[in-house]
């Protein structure tokens, strides 16, 4: 059995000090490098700021420091902007626009009186917009987005009433909560959007200017009736054609869906026509990455 060697009496016991010193030296060098990287070259910063400001202000715009790089975005609450962007405001409804919308709505109710009585078509609205709700079975086969022959005559009559107007139009598509997973439509999102787009194409072929229209698909996520019964699911499969008073109203309605927002809610965005109170400023529309927001406009200094 090998014998254990006795410890050397003169073995160095302070070698850890060298390792500790090396560690501190490396740590000091690391922080020196980090500090050097974090130092900002003020001249380069100003050059970059002016270049970005020139890009976002467009050709011929004022040169200067971009407010977004100076601590404020100028768009959201808390930011300041050196230029005052025009507020996108929804004005009060005038009697002529309201009368025109009500006349078209009454004509459509008369045109489809039989379908309205049977519940296959519903015409509803307010002073700001009106909607034409059609059951999907009137326009499409089950699970499909190709318009049926009957859809041509129905949409041609609607287009005849609407093509003489300048009002913006958007078409909303809805489904029930029954899942669909076909090669053409992986989910109800695609089905509702395809049906809305098909209606837009037919309206265009019947003379409505395409620049006035948009197609929106809500899938199964905005049911108007309970999906617990077969009748409720049938009523939820629908197409809604919304005719707005103007483009600003259309944007407000599309943000939530015509069946999810009331005219009273949209009316809160309206400016008071006479003697607005000093404490309540106008509402301005702000477009952000998360959508469209409405906030109280800051009074001019």
- What spatial distance separates the first Cα and last Cα of the chain, rounded to whole Å? 98
Provide the CATH number for the domain around residue 236: 3.30.1330.60
What's residue 65's pLDDT? 47
Range of the domain at 48: 13-68
- The pTM assigned to this predicted structure is 0.58
Indicate whether 124 belongs to any domain.
yes
Indicate whether 164 belongs to any domain.
yes
What's residue 72's pLDDT? 45
Same domain flag for 63 and 106: no
Partners of 284 in the beta sheet?
Answer: 295
The residue ranges of the chain whose pLDDT is under 50 are: 63-83, 85-88, 270-281, 299-301
Indicate whether 77 belongs to any domain.
no
Distance CA 76, CA 163 (A): 39
Structure tokens that stand for 283 in this block: 């509402």
Our count of domains for the chain comes to 2
What's residue 41's pLDDT? 65
Distance CA 53, CA 49 (A): 6
Same domain flag for 61 and 106: no
Indicate whether 4 belongs to any domain.
no
Same domain flag for 176 and 64: no
In this structure, how many other beta carbons lie within 10 angstroms of the beta carbon of residue 255? 14
Same domain flag for 233 and 147: yes
C-alpha atoms less than 13 angstroms from C-alpha of 134 in its C-beta half-sphere: 24
Say whether 219 sits in a helix, a strand or coil. Answer: strand
Same domain flag for 111 and 60: no
Same domain flag for 48 and 184: no
Structure tokens that stand for 300 in this block: 């001019």
Angle at which helix 188-205 crosses helix 149-162, to 10 degrees, equals: 60
Distance CA 145, CA 257 (A): 21
Q: Where are the beta strands (DSSP E) in 43-156?
A: 121-125, 129-135
Distance CA 207, CA 189 (A): 28
Same domain flag for 105 and 51: no
What's residue 80's pLDDT? 47
The answer to whether the CB of 237 falls within 8 A of the CB of 137 is: yes
Structure tokens that stand for 30 in this block: 């690391």
Structure tokens that stand for 298 in this block: 């800051």
Same domain flag for 62 and 173: no
What's residue 295's pLDDT? 57
State how far the alpha carbon of 293 is from the alpha carbons of 80, 161, 201, 251, 297, in Å. 17, 33, 31, 11, 12
What's residue 276's pLDDT? 45
Same domain flag for 264 and 165: yes
In 3D space, the residue among 215, 214, 216, 217 whose CA is nearest the CA of residue 189 turns out to be 217
What's residue 191's pLDDT? 96
Host H or E run for residue 230:
helix 230-236
């Amino acid at each position: 059995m090998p014998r254990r060697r006795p410890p050397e009496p003169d073995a160095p016991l302070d070698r850890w000090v060298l390792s500790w010193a090396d560690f501190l030296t490396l740590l000091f060098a690391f922080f020196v490098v980090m500090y050097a990287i974090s130092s900002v070259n003020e001249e380069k910063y100003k050059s970059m700021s002016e270049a970005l400001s020139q890009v976002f202000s467009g050709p011929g715009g004022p040169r200067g420091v971009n407010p977004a790089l100076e601590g404020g975005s100028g768009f959201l609450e808390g930011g300041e902007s050196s230029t005052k962007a025009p507020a996108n405001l929804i004005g009060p409804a005038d009697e002529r626009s309201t009368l025109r919308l009500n006349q078209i709505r009454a004509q459509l109710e008369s045109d489809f009186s039989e379908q309205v009585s049977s519940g296959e078509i519903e015409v509803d609205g307010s002073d700001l917009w009106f909607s034409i709700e059609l059951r999907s079975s009137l326009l499409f086969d089950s699970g499909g987005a190709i318009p049926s022959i009957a859809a041509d005559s129905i949409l041609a009559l609607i287009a005849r009433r609407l093509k003489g107007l300048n009002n913006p139009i958007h078409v909303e598509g809805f489904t029930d909560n029954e899942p669909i997973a076909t090669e053409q439509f992986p989910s109800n999102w695609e089905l509702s959007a395809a049906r809305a787009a098909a209606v837009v194409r037919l309206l265009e072929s019947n003379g409505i200017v395409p620049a006035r229209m948009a197609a929106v698909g809500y899938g199964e996520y905005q049911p108007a009736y309970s999906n617990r019964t077969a009748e409720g699911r049938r009523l939820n499969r629908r197409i809604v054609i919304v005719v707005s008073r103007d483009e600003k109203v259309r944007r407000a309605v599309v943000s939530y869906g015509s069946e999810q927002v009331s005219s009273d809610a949209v009316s809160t965005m309206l400016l008071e026509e006479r003697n607005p109170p000093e404490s309540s400023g106008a509402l301005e529309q702000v477009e952000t990455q998360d959508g469209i927001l409405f906030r109280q406009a800051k009074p001019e200094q």
